[in-house]
Structure 1
Amino acid sequence: MKKSNSVAASKVTLSELMLPSHSNFSGKIHGGYLLQLMDQIAFASASKYSGSYCVTASVDTVDFLNPVEIGSLVTLKASVNYVGNSSMIVGIRVDAENIQTGTKKHCNSSYFTMVAKNEKGENVTVPKLELSTFEEVRRFYDCVRRINHKKKYKMLEEIFDHQSESALEKLNHFNVILKLK
């Protein structure tokens, strides 16, 4: 196994024409189909980087910023932005292009955490990440910030008592009716 690898070694681009069979009931491309493409490119990027089979451990926020039209050429770009011991965070950007007008729009960005595995299904160590531009450094620190935020959120979630009097009182500020039995 290589001791280190560059971000460039993980870069993958995937383009696909959006067909009517990919659409939802409103005539736009189904978000689930886009998620499938995003999972595929995350796998390709992480596997290419690590030289190992990789599985999806989690998906961070997927914000659908703009709908994708039937007939658009969708381009996904992915690269490894962060590495841990056996995990990698793959950043993905999805753009759609109207192939008749050339107009492009950013549709979503997301971060997939992928874990490298061996043939027995055990976690394996991934190469260190070589950062060669300030943009790569920024993306790495963005991932560190996201990881720390998730840890803080999980800690708060563990200590929150949803049965406490104050928690139940706060429900008055939401669109719910409390009918506990």
Structure 2
Amino acid sequence: MEGQEREMSLRFLAEPADVNFGGKVHGGAVMKWIDLAAYACAAQWSGKYCITAYAGGIRFVEPIHVGNMIEVNAKVLYTGRTSMHIGIDVRAGDPTETDKYLKTHCLVIMVAVNADGKSTPVPQWEPETEHDIYLRDSAIRLMEMRKKIGAEMESFVHEA
């Protein structure tokens, strides 16, 4: 579909309200930014309202400091029938400098839904470059691992 973009970035400054007790930006703020970028990317790709189905593999590489320029990059890595696997990386650095450094990365799965809240088909994405094929295949491998982990996690669910 013409006009679809599979990649987008959010940029903003880390604010004092984002700080944790240790004086760094807290993980909850970073997770919110990840969810916002994943939604924006999925909605932009699909042209539909989307919901978060899964966020996993979140790795906090380095702390983020208040006042840092934050760049949250989101990219469609794989499309299922109604889902989009979005790769996210969070970079940050001094706003007076151009360099941004990887702080966090993860994978988010978004599902497009219709007005009734039922999942609805999304445009398919086909990788063209060797790197995009690698990213798609990695997303598929992660999906298979997630299914296995999900089955194991069922033992933690307590019946009421």
What TM-score comes out, normalization by structure 1 length? 0.79
Greater CA drift, 46-55 or 92-101: 92-101
Q: Which residue of 2 aligns with 1:14?
A: 10
Tell me which structure has the larger Cα radius of gyration: 1
Structure 1 residues not aligned, in runs of 5+: 161-181
Q: Which residue of 2 aligns with 1:41?
A: 37
Structure 1 residue corresponding to 2:48, chosen from 38, 42, 52: 52
Structure 2 residues not aligned, in runs of 5+: 156-160
The residue identity in structure 2 corresponding to 1:20 is P
Q: Which residue of 2 aligns with 1:76?
A: 72
- Is 1:26 the counterpart of 2:33? The answer is no
Deviation sequence 1:21-54 (CA, Å, 0-9, x none): 1111111011111111110110010011111100
CA distance in 2, matches of 1:37, 1:107: 13
Structure 1 residue corresponding to 2:102, chosen from 90, 102, 106: 106
CA distance in 2, matches of 1:154, 1:144: 15
Structure 2 residue corresponding to 1:94, chosen from 80, 90, 95: 90
Q: Which residue of 2 aligns with 1:137?
A: 133
Aligned identity (percent) is 30
CA distance in 1, matches of 2:41, 2:72: 11
CA distance in 1, matches of 2:53, 2:70: 25
CA distance in 1, matches of 2:114, 2:35: 19
Aligned residues: 155
Structure 2 residue corresponding to 1:149, chosen from 145, 152, 158: 145
RMSD of aligned Cα (Å): 2.1
